[in-house]
Chain A
Amino acid sequence: MSSSKLPDRLLEDVVIFDNRETQKTGAQALAPDHAPRQTLRGAPLPARGAITAPDTAASLQQRIEQFLYYQSELLDQKQWAAYIDLFSPDGIYWMPVTAEQTEWLDSPSIFAEDRRMMEIRMGRVQHPNAWSQAPQWGTSHIVGNIVIESADPSSIVVRSRFQMIELRRDNLRHFAGTYRHTLRRTGDDFKIALQRVDLLNGQAPFDYVLQVWV
């Protein structure tokens, strides 16, 4: 091999992109939004199951079930802002790769998002030029086997199982797994401090990717 100029070349003409406020190029022009999501804008939020009984152990279970059903419904109706709002300000959505993982920040994950990162994901799928959202796309969740693992005056840990069918273009995909919610009580309601999602097929090959939270 001849004496290489490559090492020098890699130290020369170094470019670092700045994040300019406005970047006027053809790339910034918005395409007309033909995505099916158009029709969903401004749709009313789904109704939440009302539980008025006093806070006995039985009704706590019912209220948590209603909370989880509501969460699924927000996802399936693409009510992203309302979905994010179920999380506490420091809430985390985490889908680890393996069941053994315990630290959301220091291990490789499928999703590892705080609310700001969730806002980026929402902003992305709502952008008219989110090309991957142009084909018809939707999900249907079922949540069950809901078990309160622990409950104290401030926080509640809930384990459940889910099944999710996703339609993309002409194809259905099937996902399943376990949710573990760490909920904080806020008056009569709850906020999610941590939603851990263990996907049964997390280490299987993904035929395409996951665009939003499961």
Chain B
Amino acid sequence: MQPLERLVEADRVHKSVYTDQEIFDREMENIWEKTWVYCGHETQLKKSGDYVTLQIGRQPMIMVRGMDGRVRVLYNRCPHRGVQLCGNRQGNTGSTFVCSYHAWTFHLDGKVKGIPLPHGYDGTRMNPENPDCSMKAAARVDSYRGFVFASLAVEGPTLLEFLGEARIAFDDMCDRSPEGAVDIVPVCHRVIQHSNWKFFMENQLDALHPSVTHQSTGVAASRVERAIKATGESPPLYYHYLSAFASSFDQWDSVQTINFPRGHGILKGYMGLRPDDPDTKEYVAAMYTAYGEKQAEVFLGRSIHHVLIYPYLSVQSPLQQLRVLRPIAPNKTLSEIWHFRLRGVSAAIYRRALWYFNLVNSPATMINADDLENWTKGQWGLESNGGDWVSFHRNYGGDTREGDIVYSNKGTSEAVMRSQFAAWTEYMR
């Protein structure tokens, strides 16, 4: 691997950071297997024994609710011969994990419970007192407003330090509920991206691409939206989810990005999610009752399209959905797409967010179809010898720094990518 200074410059990066296996392995080791990684939401585990399996970097993990109600994250591996203890994506394991190979059993906190014919270990160093006989746990587990994270490193920043200002992702999601909380919708869409994980993270705050990449969908949706208007009806809000993608370059340039340390960032809102209809009025009234008018207006008035938690999470807080990346290889990334329901709101308000999930985030998405095509071709281009560098020069030098936050001023500034690579370099040292 080349020295970092030769891979990342202030306004461009070397193509190999997207394609090189050695760099990918180091990312898994230095980033995913050290930093706080999103595991899931507390409402996925309703009762003790409920579990989900997930991947932290290259490590297969289990998130489980214990008999004491606590959520723990354990390695999905039997300490005897290494067989995975949970072979399913989710379920309830009762009060114990049982290995399907030789019937070793474990408590929900990972401690060994029983070994068949235990005398067979008499006089060996493999005895139940030895921690090697129990399932290994993630070094640290913490949660913020119901969202559970784990870190496989003993040392390092706390979860709140890691999230920094970007924790607004979860505040913004939950604060839009009159009860201050969300419930997970137990459906996960999974889509494979044939590209390096960085394509997705860069694309999420790239305001220059939508009117080009998504022109076909935006134009088709605008046409139908106008046909509805011509009949005197007003088109439902969700048509605008699609038609907004075909807005002009000028409009996109007027949206700002806010870039935090550690590569996190915000793309400010542009869709206008507060129509003047009876459902919204009823919802706003419930918010006023819950929080008082002034505070409710702060919660409802935040201009956010989505918040990125670098390097793997995109949270669309105003519509209560998020996408998590689980990288598989330099050119292969799994994305998991989840949706949450605001507690204490009407079906109509839920349906409004659901439309975005169905139209934009489902595996029949009319938006990501073209993104995925771009990223695949992008990966192929970067694997070629047609050039060595990826350009992030747009508006270089034109951003505003206030303390450790960078404001892009222009929506289409590549400040986002420059900020992400500054964080990447720190992680990779």
Partner of B358, one of A109, A204, A205, A211: A109
Q: Is B403 among interface residues, defined by CB-CB distance under 8 A? A: yes
CB within 8 Å of A: which B244-259 residues: 244, 246-251, 254-256, 258
Is A127 touching B187 in the complex (CB atoms < 8 A)?
no
A-B CB contacts (within 8 Å), total count: 188
Q: Is A207 among interface residues, defined by CB-CB distance under 8 A? A: yes
Chain A contacts of B301 at CB under 8 A?
10-11, 14
Is B372 touching A208 in the complex (CB atoms < 8 A)?
yes
Chain A contacts of B30 at CB under 8 A?
none
A201 CB to nearest chain B CB (Å): 10
Partner of B246, one of A23, A208, A210: A23
Is A2 touching B403 in the complex (CB atoms < 8 A)?
yes
Chain B contacts of A6 at CB under 8 A?
165, 168, 258, 405
Is A14 touching B269 in the complex (CB atoms < 8 A)?
yes
Chain B contacts of A15 at CB under 8 A?
251, 254-255, 268-270, 303
A15-B269, A16-B271, A27-B249 as given contacts; A209 in contact with B363, CB under 8 Å:
yes
A75 CB to nearest chain B CB (Å): 14
Residue of B nearest to A14 (CB): B303
Query: Residue among A5, A24, A116, A204 with the most chain B CB within 10 A?
Result: A116
Is B372 touching A13 in the complex (CB atoms < 8 A)?
no
Is B363 touching A106 in the complex (CB atoms < 8 A)?
no
Partner of A206, one of B192, B216, B266: B192
A51 CB to nearest chain B CB (Å): 33
Q: Is B285 among interface residues, defined by CB-CB distance under 8 A? A: no
Residue of A nearest to B377 (CB): A131
A84 CB to nearest chain B CB (Å): 12
Q: Is B364 among interface residues, defined by CB-CB distance under 8 A? A: yes
Residue of B nearest to A112 (CB): B358
What are 5 inter-chain pairs, A to B, with CB distance below 8 A? A14-B301, A116-B224, A123-B223, A210-B364, A211-B364
5 nearest A-B residue pairs (beta carbon): A123-B220, A127-B216, A16-B272, A27-B211, A130-B216
